[in-house]
Amino acid sequence: MGNTETPDIVYTKVDEAPELASASLLPVIQRFAKAAGISVGQKDISLAGRILATFPESLSAEQRVNDDLALLGELVKTPEANVIKLPNISASVPQLVAAVKELQSQGFAIPDYPETPGTDEEKAVRAKYDGLKGSAVNPVLREGNSDRRAAGAVKKFAQANPHRMGEWSADSKTRVAAMDGDDFFSNEASTTLPDDATAKIVLESGSGETLLKDGLSYPAGTVVDATFMSAAALDDFLAEEIEKTKAEGVLFSLHMKATMMKVSDPIIFGHAVKAWLAPVFDTFGDRLAKLGVNPNSGLGDLLERVKGESEIMAAIDEVTSARPPMYMVNSDKGITNLHVPSDVIIDASMPALIRAGGKGWGPDGKEADTVCVIPDNSYAPVYDEAIKFFKANGKLNPATAGTVQNIGLMAQKAEEYGSHPTTFEIPEDGVVKMVLGDGTVIHEHKVAKGDIWRSASARKAPIEDWVNLAIDRQKATGYRAIFWLDASRAHDAELIAYVKPILEARGVADKFEIMAPREATRASLETITKGENTIAITGNVLRDYLTDLFPILELATSAKMLSIVKLMNGGGLFETGAGGSAPKHVQQLLEENHLRWDSLGEFCALGESLTFLADQKDNAKARVLGDAVEAATQGILDNGHSPSRKVGEPDNRDSHYWFARYWAEALAAQSDDAALAKEFAPIAQALAENEAKITGELAAVQGKPADIGGYYHGDGAKLAGVMRPSATFNAIID
């Protein structure tokens, strides 16, 4: 078991590229923080760590680990919380299965993931694993709403050094395709509960009443939604779009959130796989089932299971040749849009396509216009309107563009991300009812077998905190402020009933606008195109989508965003940006020992965390450290020391050397704390004098494969060896 003490600053242990970078950066942070009497320690919220914490009974005493996520879940409810949260895997089933296999290969006797549980024991194991899928971490830690924006230094640098943008043409064939009805948007019902209530969800069908979920509890004022997507309508839509795409001569692509939306979106993804290979499933459905094929796991898993079946493989080839070309994840390796559910995540994939001028990569390795299939209409209009705007107006100019900040409602599992335990694939035709403890039916939907039904909720206290946070942000900036709420959508109408009275009571109703997402998208793009700024005030899903969309257009990446979560009980959670491209970064490190991950998000979060600690614990040294972090971050940007994408050029480890050097130089130069200046002057001098030696040692390891001892659960010593290859730098820091 690990250490249960809580350090002054918690730096989360996560997955993939951010965790690789931590092996290099965290020792630097810990050394500098120690000078101010600040402890910085890790708590493990990685997928592997969460798996091991879930099955202690399967492990030896030496193998057992603390449930750090549960520990942090309690910490964030206290005023003492100060957490720097790096992006972690929101695991899809294929990722979860791969992590389990890796841990088993390392000697951890955890159970297999039961894909089709039969016994009670298998069902219990499956339930435990299902608790680890999707956004299992964020709802636990986000006991506050989100204030996300580009740091001033980052925005200035992006304007002074504009990134490349793809050209848009008015005759581009790229478009968004969404269902014209019977989706989550059109079927949604919502109500605000006047009193504390308990509830259950039941399915009434020809075989009687089936309890889908019991024991739900909501405090007074909670907004409770329910909706469903028709499986038949979804299948018709997908089949039609495949044919339309072929007629248009463009790429076919599906953009989902099969990680966060861990129940609904993998099912929708599976429908797309079946639609793509419909003739194969029609002919060989029984054989595919016997081979263990689950279309929800993706085309890649299907192809692996049928590779010995020549008849099925021939049928797949025949169908594929008759389909439109598909948007590719990796055209060199033949990995398509439909291969793995977690490979194409909408909030990263759509902004990247829009930034590229509406182009996606095809199987021929060339860029082409693309049909972007986003079945549900709740947020598809955001991307549709963005594409229409750029077709009409041309690409955004990062050198002159203003910025879109975001205030996001996410505290206490607000909105759709809280829907996972209340999302169901309907087993038979019937009526789903949401019934309160007193027998009142608040929601009722007639459904068919295979439909996807879900409920979501947002509590009163987080909603009110969100509106007040937006008021404070608008007052601090004076920016145009827009609530992205659609009065014709049931859920949004209930939120508007909260928003308007609060704005009026605080006398600021004239400073805010309320617009549906489509109109708000156009208004925001018009605003930043003029070089002006705006604040998007949104629910949780739009928060996630927009804080990738606008940063990728403005800054080229969302990893450089400042993300502050003002925890409702007074603590602070500082998030460090997105990890959507992290798997590619890990692959490059393993093949070439080059890590292109940019730790700028970590630098920004660290500065905010130290400043927060200074106020939190009246630690003047922490403020000096925080100010020096800002100077170091500016130095990285101004002098071009961010990581390169190409092997043989400076990478993530080089940027950490320069960050440490600029941080030490700023501390040595400041006059607010003489002791810190004296302590860091020789460190700054040593780092400067040994520049050539250190950068040479860092460069020498590149170009060869790297061994970190595991993808999901690496070996600490091997990882340190790979990520800290400069003995000279290590000696100065350590």
Q: Give the list of residues 6+ apart from residue 271 with CB closer than 8 angstroms, or none.
A: 231, 234, 235, 238, 295
Q: In the structure, what pLDDT confidence band is assigned to residue 578 with cuts at 50, 70 and 90?
A: low
Q: Give the list of residues 6+ apart from residue 176 with CB closer than 8 angstroms, or none.
A: 372, 374, 380, 383, 384, 387
Res. 26: pLDDT tops 80: yes
- Give percent above pLDDT 70 in the chain: 99
Domain residue spans of the chain: 230-397
User: With the C-alpha atoms ordered 566, 572, 576, 579, is the resulting torsion angle positive or negative?
Assistant: negative
Q: What is the mean predicted confidence (pLDDT) over 161-165?
A: 94
Res. 34: pLDDT tops 80: yes
Q: In angstroms, how far is the first alpha carbon of the chain from the final one?
A: 26
pLDDT of residue 576: 86
- Give percent above pLDDT 90 in the chain: 88
Res. 20: pLDDT tops 80: yes
Q: Give the list of residues 6+ apart from residue 532 with CB closer than 8 angstroms, or none.
A: 402, 479, 480
Identify the residue with better confidence: 241 or 3: 241
Alpha-carbon torsion angle 333, 556, 589, 328, nearest 10 = -10
Contact between residue 411 and residue 466 where contact means Cβ atoms under 8 Å apart = yes
Pairing outcome for strands 423-425 and 452-458: antiparallel
Q: How far apart are CA 288 and CA 308, in angstroms?
A: 12
pLDDT of residue 481: 98
pLDDT of residue 88: 85
pLDDT of residue 187: 98
Query: Look-up: residue for tokens 């298998």?
Result: 122
pLDDT of residue 76: 96
Res. 232: pLDDT tops 90: yes
pLDDT of residue 142: 87
* 574: Cα within 13 Å, side-chain hemisphere: 24
Write the DSSP symbol of residue 183.
S
**Which tens digits make up the pLDDT trace of 251-263?**
999 999 988 788 9
pLDDT of residue 82: 97
**Which tens digits make up the pLDDT trace of 410-467?**
999 888 776 778 999 999 999 999 999 999 999 999 999 999 999 999 999 999 999 9
**Which tens digits make up the pLDDT trace of 664-709?**
999 999 999 999 999 999 999 999 999 999 999 999 999 999 999 9
Write the DSSP symbol of residue 86.
-
Q: In the structure, what pLDDT confidence band is assigned to residue 2 with cuts at 50, 70 and 90?
A: low
- Coil, strand or helix at 368: strand
**Amino acid identity, position 283:** T
**Which tens digits make up the pLDDT trace of 337-394?**
999 998 899 999 999 999 999 999 999 999 999 999 999 999 999 999 999 999 999 9
pLDDT of residue 421: 86
Q: In the structure, what pLDDT confidence band is assigned to residue 154 with cuts at 50, 70 and 90?
A: confident
Strand partners, 446: 431
**Which tens digits make up the pLDDT trace of 481-521?**
999 999 999 999 999 999 999 999 999 999 999 999 999 99
pLDDT of residue 580: 55
Res. 579: pLDDT tops 70: no
Contact between residue 604 and residue 154 where contact means Cβ atoms under 8 Å apart = yes
